[in-house]
Amino acid sequence: MSAESKPTILIVGAGLGGVMLGALLEKADVPYIIVERATTVKPLGSALAVGPSMVPVFEQMGIDKEYIALGKRVRYSMFIKENQEKLLALDYSPMDEFTGYTGFIVARPLFYDLLLKQIPAHKLHFGKRVDIITEDKNKVKVRTTTGEVYEGDILVGADGAYSSVRKGLYERLKQEGKLPESDQEDLPFKSTCLVGQTENLDLELYPQLKDPHYPFYTTIGNDKQFIYSLFPTTESTIAWMVVEQLDTYTSRSAEEERATNNAENAEWGSNAAQSMMDKTRGFPIHFGNGKQTLADMYEKTPKDLISKVSLEEKIFETWSDGRTVLMGDACHKLNPAGGQGAFTAMQDAMTLANLIYAMPSNSPTEIEKVFSEYRAERYPAAVEAFNASQTLSMLTGKNFGSKVALFVAQNLPNFLWRQFVKKMVVSKSTMGFLKEMESRGTVAAVESKSSVKARGVYRQRQASLAV
């Protein structure tokens, strides 16, 4: 593709997925801009697990050393009761053997900042809320509420579970009678959570932070309504997440209606985070000298960095139309139990970047082909991640099925667990337009079609330049 025919990519949303896509397009020398409705990005969030299959991509991008310095190696995930009785230990160390790389727990804000550094400042526009999206056969245009107009060849909706890009796309498709009924339903959720990260802690008061191999723990509350996880970081902080499991599925619209009709009992609104903290302050934690509770975590976390969110769960059927495509939470929202949400968003970005790079032209036909190939590759992976997250969430549930799932996990033969872990890492995605990485580990990974396609185009272009 000549410089003149390279597509210009408009990315709406500067979350992990959007920033990852921008960083990869930067490496591919594909023009793009990112618009984000927030005026600044607060370092919100807890921690995220980044599996070993991502490390080769970070090597290709030249950020692997910085990433590893931020991360804490993770090999075990522990489930315990409030009295510290161990329920289950999940051993992820076979991943190291199978892939030749190690997985890490990394504080989400630090990881986000690392990706953000890969984006030139002039390509990232904060405080730009999308107002109107228009497209024709030649271009797509985005107008913001502050009056700016951005024009490109492809629009990527990377703006989260309540995506404005998806909303506009679906409204148009619904009017045209092309939107499946399932995509017209509200986003359901059956749990909400608080997230945050403490300030730097005194290592004498929290000696567990000195141990570089200390696992992260998930505590199942005595009544199983609350589950809370604590993640030690390399910064001597603790990232934490407290999940409240609801009795039934609900939606944001249902909660807003309930709040309007019964405000005094509403669990949604500006005081919801404080209300949830008040409920859980006395819950014991395994850090410290055995006397600490969640209250210690709350008190050591800046209040403006504590947030409450709903944990929606849904995979949408419609991922694209015309020049618009969705990625990350905008098209698949996963339960966080499997730690797959951020991972799948970054995988989406990698697939899109590979396919965009390999486009021979930016014609409508080629764009439609790219979107079709993108969904064909990523939809099954999203479904698999969704199911894995659902399975793991069963371990901490309140019903009889959850008790059965926990019993099975506790008595699962090691060879079956290894097969489960192997399935998680057998698929491999790398960037075909960057330096090819040598295979490591004992499992021959199956490389994604988008990676193979981009690498083929890259080699052809390099050969033509050498002539």
Tens digit of pLDDT for each residue in 17-66?
999 999 999 999 999 999 999 987 766 677 887 878 888 999 999 999 99
pLDDT exceeds cutoff 50 at 260: no
Across the beta sheet with 154-157, what order do the strands follow?
124-126, 32-36, 9-12, 154-157, 324-326, 320-321
pLDDT exceeds cutoff 80 at 181: yes
Tell me how far apart the alpha carbons of residues 411 and 172 are, in angstroms, rounded to a whole number: 51
Question: What pLDDT is attached to residue 262?
Answer: 42
Question: What pLDDT is attached to residue 32?
Answer: 98
Tell me how far apart the alpha carbons of residues 22 and 72 are, in angstroms, rounded to a whole number: 26
* Contact (Cβ atoms closer than 8 angstroms) between residue 155 and residue 34: no
pLDDT exceeds cutoff 80 at 150: yes
Half-sphere exposure of 261 (CA within 13 A, CB side): 6
Q: How much is the pTM?
A: 0.90
305-311 average pLDDT score = 85
pLDDT exceeds cutoff 60 at 120: yes
Task: Report helix, strand or coil for 109.
Answer: helix
Half-sphere exposure of 18 (CA within 13 A, CB side): 29
Lowest-confidence pick of 26-35, 161-170, 401-410? 401-410
Burial of residue 99, with CB atoms counted within 10 A of its CB: 0-12 exposed, 13-18 middle, 19 or more buried: buried
Question: What pLDDT is attached to residue 263?
Answer: 38
Question: What pLDDT is attached to residue 95?
Answer: 87
Q: At what angle do helices 400-410 and 364-394 cross, to 10 degrees?
A: 90
- Write the CB contacts of 386 (distance below 8 Å, at least 6 apart in sequence): 313, 315, 332, 334, 335, 340
pLDDT exceeds cutoff 80 at 267: no
- Write the CB contacts of 461 (distance below 8 Å, at least 6 apart in sequence): none
Burial of residue 267, with CB atoms counted within 10 A of its CB: 0-12 exposed, 13-18 middle, 19 or more buried: middle
**Structure confidence at residue 334 as a pLDDT band (50, 70, 90):** confident
Question: What pLDDT is attached to residue 321?
Answer: 96
226-248 average pLDDT score = 88
Question: What pLDDT is attached to residue 136?
Answer: 84
Lowest-confidence pick of 40-49, 198-207, 243-252, 367-376? 40-49
**Structure confidence at residue 336 as a pLDDT band (50, 70, 90):** low
Q: How far is CA 315 from CA 104, 240, 278, 393, in A?
A: 26, 26, 33, 17
pLDDT exceeds cutoff 50 at 232: yes
pLDDT exceeds cutoff 80 at 235: yes
Name the phi and psi angles at 241, rounded to 5: -145, 130
- Write the CB contacts of 403 (distance below 8 Å, at least 6 apart in sequence): none
Lowest-confidence pick of 75-89, 166-180, 251-265? 251-265
